[in-house]
Structure 1
Amino acid sequence: MFDEMTERGYQPNLIVYSIMLKGLCKTGNTGRAVRFLRLMESRGFEPNIVAYNTILDCLCKNGLLKEALDLFSEVKVKGIRPDIFTYSCLIHGMCNFGQQEEAKKLLNEMVDNNISLDIVTYNILIDALCKEGTISKAVEIVDTMRKQGIEPNVVTYNTLVDAHCKEGMVSEAEDIVDAIIKRGIEPNVVTHNALINGHCLQNEMDKARRVFNLMIEKGCAPNIVTYSTMINGYCKAKRLDEAMELFHEISQKGPIPDTVTYNTLMQGMFQLGKVSTACELFRKMLASGQVPDIVTCTILLDGLCKTGHIEEALELFQAMRNRGLGLDIVPYTILIDGLCKAGHIEVAKELFHQLSDNGLKPDVYAYCIMINGLCKEGLPDEAYRMFGSMGDNDCLPNSCCYNVMIRGFLQNSYTSKATQLLTEMVGKGFSADIFTATLFMDLIVHSNKSILL
C-alpha cells in the first residue's frame, strides 16, 4: 500500500513514515525497518527520537545489541537528544546480555545529561543484578534510587525478595517483606509466591504452607504459580497426598491447572513409583484440554523407562516423533538408557544410530549409556570400538566414560585391557571413581599379586 501511494505521486509525511516504521517493528521485520529508516533519510525526512527509539527497541528485543549501540552512537552524533525511553531500551538490552556494568554506565550518563530516571529503568537494572547473583549491588542501586528521590515500589521489593529466597536467604527475604509493610506497601501474590518458593527450596513445607494460608487470610488469592510451587514442593518432599489435595482444590475452585502443574505432579508420582496414577493424570490432562508439551512427554517417557514399562515408552516415543515435537538428544538418551537396562541392546543400538539420521550428535552421556549397556550384555569389544569412535562425533571421553569402559572390561574379565585403560585415563588427568577402585581392589584381594605390577 505504501509503495502504491508513492507510485501514484502521493508524498508521505513524517507521520506516515513513523506509522510504517512502527508496523514493521511490531511484526518483527527488523531488517526492513532499518532499511525503511534509511529510506526516510534519503527522501529528506530526518527521523526524530521517537522513530529512532522504535528501531532501538526492536533491535534490543531481537538480541541485536551491537547494532542498537551503533545506532545510538549515530543518534548522538546527529545531535538528537536521547530520552528516557532510549536509555531504558538499551539498559534492558545490555542487562539481557549480562552487561550490567555497561548498563550502570548508561545510568550515570543519564544523570550527567539531566535525564530524570524513572522506577522502570531502575527495576530493569536491579532485576539483572539479582539474576546475576550480585544481590549486594542490587541493594546499592536501591539506595541510589532513594537518594535520587525515587521510592522503590512493590516490583523492586519483589525482585529482591525473590533473589534472596533463591540464594537460600529466606529469613532476610522475610525481613524485606516486614520492612515494606512498615513502609505502607502491601505484599502482592508475587511477593508471597517468592517466599513460598524460598521455603520449598529449603524443604520447609510447613513454613511454605503457613505463608500460603496467610496470603489467603489477607485476601490475596493464590494464582496457578502459587499452587504449582506448593505442589512441586510437596512432591519433592515426597508428600504426594498433600500435593494431590491442592491439585483437587484448584480443580474445584480454580485457577485452572496449567501444563506446569500437571508436569510437576506427574513427575512426583513417577518418582514415588505411582505409574498408573501418573498415567491416569496424563489422561485427565488431555481430557481437560491442556496440550502436553515436550517437557510433559519427556517426564512421561522418563517415568515409563525408569519403572520398566518399555513397550509403553516406545509407543510414546513414536507418538512424540509423529507429532513433530522437534526432539533433541534428551528423549533419545532416556529411551536408550531404558532399553539398555531392560536388556533390549539391539533396539538401543538401532536408536543410537538413528541420532545422526535425525541431525543429532550423541553426547558424552549417550555414549556412556551405550558403552555400559554393551558391557552388561557381554560385548566389551563392541563397547571399546564405540569408545574409540567418540572423537568422530567431536565428543571426547571424559572421566565418566573412562570409568564405565574400565568397569566393563573388569566385569568381563578383561583385566589387562582395564589396567592399560586405567593408565591412559590417569595420563589424561582423570581418576578412578569409587566403583572402579572397588573392582580393582576386589581383584587385588582375590589374586596372589597386584594386577598393577
Structure 2
Amino acid sequence: MMEERGFEPNIVAYSTVIDCLCKNGLLNEALDLFSEVKVKGIRPNTVSYNCLIHAMCNLGQQKETTRLLNEMVDNNISCDIVTYNVLIDAHCKEGMISEAIEILDTMRKHGIEPNVITYNICIDACCKEGMLAEAKDIVDTMIKQGIEPDVVTYSVLVDGHCLQNQMDKAKSVFQLMIEKGCAPDIHSCNIMINGYCKAKRLDEATELFDELAQNGQNSDTVTYNTLMQGMCRLGRVSTACKLLRTMLASGPVPNLVTCSILLDGLCKSGKLEEALKLFQAIQKSRLEVDIVFYNILIDGLCKAGNIETGKELFHELFVNGLKPDVYTYSIMINRFCTEGLPDEACQLFRSMEENDCLPDSFCYNIMIRGFLRNSYTSKATQLLKEMVSKGFSADISTATLFMDLILRSNNKSILI
C-alpha cells in the first residue's frame, strides 16, 4: 500500500512487518520479505535480524540461526543485547548451560554488558536443572555488577528450591524478596503455593492464599486451581468444593482446568454422584467439555465397578461428536477384563483402528494381561507376538504374568 501511494518503505517499516510475521508463526513469509529487502538494496539492521533469529531459535533451527549470525558479521552489523539474550535463552532451553555462559562471556568481550534479563535467563536454566549453587553464583556476580535482582530473579530462585522440595529455603528467599522491597507478584505467590501443595504442606499454602486477600492482592485462576489440586491430592475434596464456591462468589471465573481438577478429586474420593452432577453442570455451562472430562469420569465409574454407566458415557462421546482416545479405550478394556469379560474387551480393542485410534504399548499390555488373568493363554500369546511386531514390548507386569504361567505349567514353549 505504501508503494502504491509512492512511498518507499524503509528498514524500520520492513522490520515491523517481519516482526509481526515471525510472532504469528509465519517464518517463511518473513524470510521471503527479508530477501526482498536485500534485493531492493535496503540494508537490514540489527532489529530485522533479531526478529528472524528469535523465531528460528523458538523453532530449534540452530543451523539457520548460525547462518544469520555469520551473515550479520559479514555485513558488519553488530549484535546487541537482544541478540545475545535470544541466543542465551535458546541454548538454555536446549540444556546447553555452559555454552550459554560462554555466549555471556563473549558479549562482555564485545563491550555489551548483560542486563537483568540476561542473568535471569541463566539463573532460571540453572534452577530448572537443579544447579542451585551455580544459580546463586550468577546472582552474586549480578549484584557485583551493580544489577539488583528483580521479582523474576527471586521467583526463579523460589521455584528452583520448590522443584528440589526445599520449601524452607524457598520460604527464606521469598521473605528476602519482601525484605529487599521487591514486592512478590501473583506469579511468585503461585510458585510458593504450588511448592507447599506438592510438599503436602497444605496449611501453609492456605495461609499464604489468605494473606493475599488480606493484602488486597487478587488471586488468579492459577492460584485457585493450584490450591484445589493440593486439597484433592490430600483427599480434602469437600474443602476444595468450598474453595470453588468462594471462587464463584468473588474470585476469577473457573476454567476447564478448575473443573477437571474437582471432577478428578470427586471421582478418586468415591463421590461419584457429586461427580456426575458436576459433569452435568459443566455440560450445561459455556465450557466446552472435551475427552479429558469423559476419561476422568469413565475411569472413576469403572474403578467403582459401575461399568454400565461407564459404557453409556463411552457411547455418549460419539453422539457429542467426540472421539475416544487411547486412554479412554484402555480404561474400558481394563474394566471389561477385570469384570471377567475378555471377549467384550477384545471386541473393543479391535474396534480401535476402525475409529482412527491405534493401540499403544500401554493398551496392548492391558489387553494381554486381561487375557492371561482370564486364562486366555493362547490369545495372550498371539497378541504378544502382534505387539512385538508393532515395535512394542511387554512391561514388567505383563512379563511377570507370563513368567508365572511358564513356572506353573513348566512349559517354556508357551511363548514360541
Question: Is the structural similarity TM-score above 0.5?
Answer: yes
Matched, 1:421 2:406: no
Q: Distance in 1 between matches of 2:101 and 2:115?
A: 14
d(CA) in 1 for partners of 2:121 and 2:218? 26
Q: Distance in 2 between matches of 1:191 and 1:439?
A: 51
1:441 Cα deviation after fit? 4.6
Aligned to 1:240, which of 202, 213, 220? 202
Match status 1:410 vs 2:375: no
**Residues 29-63 of structure 1: CA distance to partner in whole angstroms, max 9, x if unpaired?**
xxxxxxx4xxx434543222232223212211111
Query: Would you say the 8 A contact 1:100–1:129 is kept in 2?
Result: no
Match of 2:145 in 1: 183
Q: Distance in 1 between matches of 2:281 and 2:129?
A: 40
Match for 1:169 among 131, 135, 144? 131
Distance 2:68 2:412 in 1: 67
Name the larger-Rg structure. 1
> Root-mean-square deviation (CA), in Å?
2.2
Query: Shift in Å at residue 438 of structure 1?
Result: 3.7
Equivalents in 2 of 1:444, 1:114: separation in Å? 73
Report what 2:315 is aligned to: 353
* Distance (whole Å) between structure 2 residues aligned to residue 410 and residue 319 of structure 1: 41
Q: Which amino acid aligns with 2:328?
A: A
d(CA) in 2 for partners of 1:448 and 1:111? 73
Q: 1:336·1:351 contact (CA, 8 Å) conserved in 2?
A: yes
TM-score by length of 2: 0.93
Distance 2:130 2:213 in 1: 31
Matching of residue 126 in structure 1 with residue 88 in structure 2: yes
> Aligned partners of 2:399 and 2:34: how far apart in 1?
60
Q: Does the 8 Å contact 2:219/2:251 carry over to 1?
A: no
Mind listing any 5+ residue stretches in structure 1 that lack a counterpart?
1-35
Question: Is residue 341 from structure 1 mapped to residue 323 from structure 2 by the alignment?
Answer: no
What TM-score comes out, normalization by structure 1 length?
A: 0.85
What amino acid maps onto 1:50 in structure 2?
A: V
Equivalent positions of 1:27-106 (< 5 A) are 36=1, 40-106=2-68
Give the structure 1 partner of residue 71 of structure 2.
Answer: 109
The 8 Å contact of residues 220 and 251 in structure 2, kept in 1 or not, is answered as: no
Shift of the 104–438 alpha-carbon distance from structure 1 to 2, 3 Å rule, reads: closer
* Corresponding residue number in structure 1 for 2:238: 276
2:291 to 320, 329, 332: 329
Matches of 2:284 and 2:46, distance apart in 1: 50
Q: Go from structure 1 to structure 2 and tell me whether the alpha carbon gap of 1:91 and 1:447 turns closer, same or farther (over 3 Å shift).
A: closer
Cα distance in 2 between the residues matched to 1:320 and 1:281? 17
Structure 1 residue 306: Cα displacement = 1.3
2:169 match: 207
Deviation at 1:344, TM superposition (A): 2.2
Deviates more, 1:122-131 or 1:270-279: 122-131
How far, CA to CA, are the matches of 1:390 and 1:161 in structure 2? Answer: 47
In structure 1, C-alpha distance between the alignment counterparts of 2:241 and 2:352, rounded to whole Å? 37
Which blocks of at least 5 consecutive residues in structure 2 are unaligned? none
Alignment partners' CA distance in 2, 1:41 and 1:356: 53
Deviation at 1:73, TM superposition (A): 0.3
Task: Please give the secondary structure, in 2, of the residue aligned with 1:41.
Answer: coil
Find the partner of 1:306 among 258, 264, 268: 268
* Counterpart residue identity of residue 323, structure 1: S
The code of the aligned residue for 1:152 comes to P
Work out the number of aligned pairs and report it. 415
Q: For residue 235 of structure 1, report the CA deviation from its aligned partner.
A: 0.9
Contact 2:197 2:205 in 1 (8 A): yes
1:199-218 per-position Cα deviation (integer Å, ceiling 9, x unaligned): 11111111111111222222
Alignment match of 2:227 (pick from 265, 281, 284): 265
C-alpha distance after superposition, 1:137-157 (max 9, x if no partner): 322221221122110011100
In the TM superposition, residue 342 of structure 1 has moved relative to its aligned partner by 1.8
The code of the aligned residue for 1:120 comes to V
Superimposed CA distance per residue, residues 3-27 of structure 1 (whole angstroms, 9 cap, x where no aligned partner): xxxxxxxxxxxxxxxxxxxxxxxxx
Superposed CA offset, 1:51-102 (max 9, x none) = 2223212211111000000010000000011222222222222222222442
What secondary structure does 1:185 align onto? coil
1:451 Cα shift? 8.4
Identity of aligned residues (%): 73
The answer on 1:225 being equivalent to 2:202 is no
The reply on whether 1:319 has 2:281 as its aligned counterpart is: yes
Please tell me whether residue 287 in structure 1 is matched to residue 249 in structure 2.
yes
| Distance apart, 1:284 and its partner CA | 1.2
Counterpart for residue 118 of structure 2: 156
Once residues 12 and 293 of structure 2 are traced to their aligned partners in structure 1, the CA distance between those partners, rounded to angstroms, is: 47
